[in-house]
Chain A
């Protein structure tokens, strides 16, 4: 029921005035809920005990559409003589180079007229008449032009005069004029390549031939030819199978009609007995009729001196169209009856800079049209010329950003009779014409270039979501947006925006090509998009894309359900990104990639994978392109000399062996890098390395002389202490320390009971440390001051953590001898600890900031502790109390990982102190 208006809308401010928000970043479409309201219809009826349930403007979960194949598939063979513009955008300041090229390589065009005139007066012949200037003179003259010398000398004056006389006339087109025009042309070319408003609307359409039966055959309408001037009506029969992705069967030949200009835009009407198709080229608009049981035919054509910027077929009444010209006139065109002008805007009402782009669309009322320019869209009544009001205006619709401009408007008659889509370079709006200037829904579409094509797929059943497809020409992006509501309920978006595949991405999913072929393919696939069409059948969504070279691609998406057959969801595995993802690869993939590395010409050999058909389709598509490129080359054939027989050198067997070894090494390296493993020596087949044994450690005790002792002390930075000891300067301190130590030992004996009690906690302590959830670990990583603080803090509790830390501290204070005796042993212990006792810690080292919980972990999915994301930030401590558990987790894990090298060391110290503690307990 399109005639009901939502009984309440989401609250929002209405800001009437120039937009103040600056465009910030391209990620505005995520993370926000928009606004919420309560979902129960009547408050008074709501049961008091129940909590109110709320709904948000942006819902998190939507239908999940999964691509069936890893990239787009070509639908028709490529047009071989299409021109491909490739490379950097033309720079207007490059005009001197262009002129140089013109003068050099097209000298006849550049200078022929003057050359003919001067021919009789200049001669290169040795004997020449008197009145003709000689070669000598000419040569000197030309030399003089080349070198800058003294301007005042006699000859040069002559040259200067001649130059002044002839400078403007020598070239057929005056240089200044030519350069000016060239600059202008380059500028406009650049603008055209960056943003070409002519393409708005898109030149691709899909019309279902049976309106009633949704899944029947349809007609794909697209331009072809080098200049996109042939209009094609191509019958397509989609076939849907339960267990297979759908495929399209196309008639062998389309109905092709050659037109008088490049086809810029196609607009389709509704299919009744017959459906209207309108075609726009720059100066012509034509209307065609298409029916199920008859071939497409032409109805009428109109022509203007101004360029057309839009044509739209009425969804309400057959044979009615609107056209708009760049001068700002808009006409209602009834086929065979003529045109009726309903609007003329010589200037842009709300915009100082004049832009020629105008657009017209129908609305819910067959005589009320939407008239749009870059600043907004207005509803205009065709029966009453002065009656119009704004549907959308950049200054009036709140939430607009500075510099926002309308790119496309589209009447969404299929999905809702009152809805209009308006896209700008930042956002997409759903406007309801009953409530002008306030968007029912707004997305940040996050596209890299401006969305100029749109296609809408209505909800088949009432609980499904409407789907909007936005397409951008330059970046070939296609975005899938889903929304719901607009009738009884306010509009809500469903799920985040999804990006579909673009033709330029598909190369990375195919077998590797030879570099020159790859270049050709890349060039061809990077061409801007020119149109977008989509068709839906139950759980399948097929999207057609047209590029400016007239190539047609399609991709199919499948609605993901919990019970979906796994076969269908498999192909989403992204082949390109495998290098980055940590997922384990199957053997098959490894083989495949190794085969890739071995031979580059794997295009001819079929890839042993499930996408065989896909690869074959692409190979077939590439064939004519490569063939054409290679046939071109034959003009520049060079002489080939076979050198096989010339160089007859016996290659030593050892060399070939080594070569094989290197090859296998290369392959192994490749595998290892892909799997992110360590290259072990056993794999490499390289000659064994001579392992130089580590020299025996020097035991300082074996060298009792003073010099050796002092040197040993100096190595440990205890040189001063050694001298202090030697000279007896620190005797008092030593005595003091000894006393203190005894005192503590006495206290320790007194506390034995509590100590043994806390020992039980020490067992859990280690585990806690690994789990990363004790506060102690936080202190472990920090420096000494923190350690002492922690001691102070934990003193009252008297846990063993402190007791364990203490010996570690003491050991530092102890005389160097013990330390010097221990180092090897300690290190070994550390190593041992690392390898055996703390496997989880090493895990943490591999995946930084990820807290892996092995019980829950599946083989492919890693689980994340999201608290740890932000652990390193300062404000954690401030708000620790508020968040509670998650925060404590967070801080500890982060410290653990940030100082993952420190942890084992300290633990090693604490471990090493354990036997000491035992001996103390034995006191």
Chain B
């Protein structure tokens, strides 16, 4: 019983934020720092400047905020059920993120390093699969909403018909597929 209370307290201390400004990485590392933790593992997602030889001018992120936070909590609970962890902190930035800047940051601490390293990978994979956050790549000659392979695999809703190309009012609408 006491162990469960401690676990619950740790989970409640998880720092999960969706922010509009540059991510303060040190803040989230400090949030998971603990005298009992021998390791802190981190993941930083940064914005790439090219896609298929096209220059990406900027990236824009949009989120369904309340649900994104709830999904992040579920992901953390899932990680904690798999590994013994001390602290978790996740931050995702919205709005315009210039290239090479951080769009997502994850920090996980654990007593020994294996748990935090494994959990860190799990957390970013789950985030890409479940959390309702969308990214738009803006090029010099257009823009496209990019989304995650893992998301459609997980929800199993996307159908092949989605990829049809059709003419509508003399316009050709095409889909950009992510690599």
Q: Please say whether chains A and B are actual partners in one complex.
A: no
